[in-house]
Structure 1
Amino acid sequence: MSAARVMVVDDHPVVRDGVALLLRGEPALVVVGSAESGRSALDRAPGLAPDLVLLDLRLPDMLAPEIVAGLRERVPAARVVVFTAHGDHHGVQAALDAGAHGALLKDAAATDLVDALRRVLRGERVRDPRMVPGGASQAALVRSGLTRREYEVLRLAAQGRTNPEIAETTGLARNTVKTYLQSALHKLGARNRVEAIGKASEAGLL
């Protein structure tokens, strides 16, 4: 299977170069081009024919929802993922409403970024769980009593990840992952991982 074609749209060269560097070791994803503004992204996208566009939420010339809508018209087969340093920005939801397929924070670890992009290419809608709005709502988290970290570990467990895999993804020690999971189980009143995932789903957390 050929590698998925990725286009990076960001007005900061260091971000464009950084993403290209992160994806260089990932044979399933290849950066085929970039753009530094919304207008240049819309102009270049048809020629680059990307499978996925990683789009900065804040560009100097256009709002992200406008760019998303334009990309959906010009390269309808491409999936668009908003990439931002501002997880609580209302523009995230506006971009998703305009048709973006996902939203990620720029401080995502390389393994998380690659995993998220792969999931988007498989047809999933992906949001970093730390985003507000996105993932679990703050209200649902408050009701559950879970911390963000406990929620993040539980979310990865719900994806079928093992404790060692969760540790690798989050950068936590395995014992710490186990502690967070046990704490989440206790707060949800669950006896095991499966029951915890079910209860978290019912509570609107997953």
Structure 2
Amino acid sequence: MVVDDHPVVRDGVALLLRSDPSLTVVGSAESGHTALSRVLELRPDLILLDLRLPDMLAPEVVGELRKLQPAARIVVFTAHGDHQGVLAALDSGAHGCLLKDVAGTDLVAALRRVLRGERVVDPRILPDDGQRSDALARSGLTRREYEVLRLAAQGQTNPEIAESTGLARNTVKTYLQSALHKLGARNRVEAIGKASEAGLL
């Protein structure tokens, strides 16, 4: 399902995906509310979601779509490599983010990877490692706090972070709270926004 307020994007994606018989556009929506009302009827395996919709913020739409259709993979599709919005959407449970200038063959390949269970984020959305290590030194975050925050930014829950790092769940929670405190943030979405502004993510 393609969710975008521009008809040219909805039609363009449908045309691009015609080159791959294994991918079929089952429907589209021009707003967040329409997407939420149509997802139960269409039951898509994958949702391509515009970051900037006229009626709802993408992180909000992602959270609601995950509740209604937990099995669907959600990929944010944006013209802007806007760190904060993208990271907030990933934190809400999106499985990837692609820029709208992606080539047709790359789009098909990326969507197939997401359907196989991979997380796909366009490398242009994330700053390079050199900038990141300087920013990390300035932030006062430890490597572990940064690692836990980075996994949270990729949309992992505390239990998933615990599993992928081998840490206890309470330890993950402690590292996250410590990172929030150092960044002056009230919650994980705000922490991810501040960390991305500082060039950490």
Normalising by structure 2, we get a TM-score of 0.64
Q: Which ranges of 4 or more aligned residues in structure 1 deviate by more than 4 Å?
A: none
Q: Which consecutive residues of structure 2, in runs of 5 or more, have no partner in the other structure?
A: 135-201
Which residue matches 1:139? 131
**Correspondent of 1:120 among 91, 100, 114:** 114
Higher normalized strand content (fraction of residues): 1
**Deviations along 1:155-188, whole A, 9 cap, x unmatched?**
xxxxxxxxxxxxxxxxxxxxxxxxxxxxxxxxxx
CA distance in structure 2 between the aligned counterparts of 1:89 and 1:120, rounded to whole angstroms: 20
**Deviations along 1:102-129, whole A, 9 cap, x unmatched?**
0000000011101100000000000001
CA contact (8 A) 1:23 1:30 kept: yes
CA distance in structure 1 between the aligned counterparts of 2:101 and 2:36, rounded to whole angstroms: 26
**Correspondent of 2:34 among 13, 34, 40:** 40
Change (3 A) 1:64 1:137: farther
CA distance in structure 1 between the aligned counterparts of 2:14 and 2:6, rounded to whole angstroms: 13
**Deviations along 1:19-68, whole A, 9 cap, x unmatched?**
00000111110000000000000000011000000000000100000000
CA distance in structure 2 between the aligned counterparts of 1:127 and 1:71, rounded to whole angstroms: 19
Change (3 A) 1:141 1:122: farther
| TM-superposed deviation, 1:132 | 3.0
**Correspondent of 1:10 among 4, 22, 42:** 4
Higher relative contact order (CA 8 A, sep 6+): 2
CA distance in structure 2 between the aligned counterparts of 1:92 and 1:117, rounded to whole angstroms: 17
CA distance in structure 2 between the aligned counterparts of 1:112 and 1:138, rounded to whole angstroms: 27
Change (3 A) 1:62 1:112: same
CA distance in structure 2 between the aligned counterparts of 1:84 and 1:55, rounded to whole angstroms: 8
Aligned residue pairs, count:
135
Amino acid at match of 1:34: S
Give the CA RMSD over aligned residues: 1.8
Calculate percent identity across the aligned residue pairs. Answer: 73
Q: Which consecutive residues of structure 1, in runs of 5 or more, have no partner in the other structure?
A: 1-6, 143-206
**Deviations along 1:68-123, whole A, 9 cap, x unmatched?**
00000001110000000001341000000000000000000011101100000000
CA contact (8 A) 1:88 1:132 kept: no
| TM-superposed deviation, 1:137 | 4.7
**Deviations along 1:114-159, whole A, 9 cap, x unmatched?**
11000000000000011136xx5562599xxxxxxxxxxxxxxxxx
Higher normalized helix content (fraction of residues): 2
CA distance in structure 2 between the aligned counterparts of 1:66 and 1:100, rounded to whole angstroms: 11
CA distance in structure 2 between the aligned counterparts of 1:132 and 1:125, rounded to whole angstroms: 14
Which residue matches 2:141? none
Amino acid at match of 2:19: G
Amino acid at match of 1:80: I
Normalising by structure 1, we get a TM-score of 0.62
Amino acid at match of 2:110: A
Which residue matches 2:171? none
CA distance in structure 1 between the aligned counterparts of 2:62 and 2:129, rounded to whole angstroms: 24
Q: Is 1:106 paired with 2:100?
A: yes
Other structure's SS at 2:28 match: strand
